[in-house]
Amino acid sequence: MSATPVSVPPAAKPAADAFRLEGELPMAGAPAVPMFEIETLRAKEFLPAAREALSALIKDQSENRVIGPVFNWARRNSLFPLHWGLACCAIEFAAGFGARWDAERFGVVPRSSPRQCDLMIVNGTVTWKVAHKLITLYEQMPEPKWVIAMGNCATGGGPFRTAYSVVPGVDKLVPVDIYIAGCPPRPEAMLDGILKLEELIRERKE
């Protein structure tokens, strides 16, 4: 007798369809959200910013109050991450830009040149050998700029944090705005991190 896996009910009862292989129902082609709706899901985002700018304009506020909301809206809706891959998370980073998750929906387009980027997604283990290059890249990015530490290696060294060559967390090198946990995080988690960053930018007004 050996360790045969047996399925015993866990402490909490799982969802009723545990182990059901989903998707057998042939409702192919139908979008979960209707076509028109799916294109307008976040379209109303612009309205508050515009309203704020308009009211500031009417009340004769300072210039910053007028254009601030609009530029804030623009900034958070057009984040260009740096196109580079460090380690495992880079594969999920790429998958996030693949067909299934398509980060471009949010206006996130990777650019290869740091001069054109707003966002550095540190997607993997940072070693001491690459640390100064990472700092150079960060300094080459024009303001305003943000950093996302994607995955546990970037957050705190992950499983390799005891190693002699690994920086235990990229926040030792550059200021980090959002930490995404996961090893590696799913592409959805990466998108969630980007959306959280958008919220952060919305709160940090000029």
Partner 1 sequence: MEAADLERALRPVLGDRLLGVEPFEGTAGRVRFRREGAVDLFRTARDTLLFGHLTMVGGIDWVDHREVVYVLWSDTARQYAILSADVPADDAHIETASAVWPSANWHEREAWELVDISFDHHPDLRHLLTPDGYVFHPLLRSFKLHEPEELEVKSRHV
Partner 2 sequence: MSSATLYSVSYALAALILNVIGFIIPPIRAPITNVDVVTVLAVLIFGALLLAASMLNTILLIWWERKLLGRFMDRRGAMHVGFAGLLQNFADGFKLFRKNTFQPAEADTLGFYSGPTAYMVTSMILFGILPISSGWNSGSLPLSLLLALAIFSFAPLFIFVSAWSSNNKYSLMGGMRSAAQMIAYEVPILLAVVSVVILSGSFSLTTIVYEQQNYWFWGPLVVALIVFVAAMLAEMERIPFDLPEAEAELVEGWNTEYGGMLFAFFMLADYLRALVGSILVVLLFLGGWTLPTWVPSAATSFPLAGILWFMLKTYLVFGLFVWVRASLPRVRTDQLLRVGWNRMIPLALLSVFLAAALVTVRCVPVFGCVPSAGA
Partner 3 sequence: MSEMWINMGPQHPMTHGLWNLRVKIDGEMVLDVDPEMGYLHRGIEKISEDRHYNEVITLMDRCCYVAGFAWEHLYILAAEQALHIRPPERAEYLRVMSDEFQRIGSHLMWYAAFVQDLGLMSPFLYGMRDRDLVLDLFQAYTGARLTYEYMRVGGVRNDVPPGFTDRARKVLDWLDDRYREYDALCMGSTIFRERCDDLGILKANDCVAHGVTGPMLRAAGVRRDLRKDRPYAVYKQIDFDVAQADAADVTARYLVRMEEMRQSNRILRQVLDWLDHHPGPMMADNLPRWLGAPYAPIGNEGYLLKRSYPKGTGFSAVEEPHGEACAYVVNEGALHPYRVKFRSPVFSNISAARQYLVGYHVADIPPIMGSVDVCVGEVDR
- List interacting residues with partner 1 (CB under 8 A): 128-129, 156-157, 161-165, 168-169
Which among partner 3, partner 2, partner 1, none contacts residue 75 (Cβ within 5 to 8 A by kind)? Answer: partner 2
Strands (E), 39-155: 119-123, 146-150
Residue for token pair 């799982």: 14
65 binds partner 2 (CB under 8 A): no
Over the window 94 to 133, marking each residue x when it contacts partner 2 by CB under 8 A and - when it does not, the resulting string is ----xxx-x-xxxx---xxx-xxxx---------------
Q: How many C-beta atoms lie closer than 10 Å to residue 134's C-beta?
A: 21
Pick what 118 binds: partner 3, partner 1, partner 2, none; C-beta below 5 to 8 Å, kind-dependent: partner 2
3 state SS for 18-86 = CCCCCCCCCCCCCCCCCHHHHHCCCHHHHHHHHHHHHHHHHCCCCHHHHHHHHHHHHHHHCCCEECCCC
Q: How far apart are CA 166 and CA 172, in angstroms?
A: 11
Q: What radius of gyration, in Å, describes the C-alpha atoms of the chain?
A: 21
C-beta closer to partner 3: residue 105 or 133 = 133
Which one of partner 2, partner 3, partner 1, none interacts with residue 196, CB within 5 to 8 A by kind? none
What is d(CA 130, CA 26) in angstroms, rounded to the nearest whole number? 50
| DSSP summary character for residue 161 | T
List 48, 85, 144, 159, residue binding partner 2 (CB under 8 A): 144
By C-beta, is 107 or 168 nearer to partner 1? 168
Give residues 112-151 in contact with partner 3 (rule: CB under 8 A).
112, 114, 124-125, 127, 129-130, 133, 137
Tokens of 176: 């980090």
Judge residue 112's burial from the number of C-beta atoms within 10 Å of its C-beta, 0-12 exposed, 13-18 middle, 19 or more buried: exposed
Residues that bind partner 2 (CB under 8 A): 38-43, 45-46, 70-71, 73-75, 77-78, 98-100, 102, 104-107, 111-113, 115-118, 140-144
Residues that bind partner 3 (CB under 8 A): 1-5, 19, 21, 82-88, 90-92, 94-95, 97-100, 112, 114, 124-125, 127, 129-130, 133, 137, 159-160, 162-166, 183-184, 186
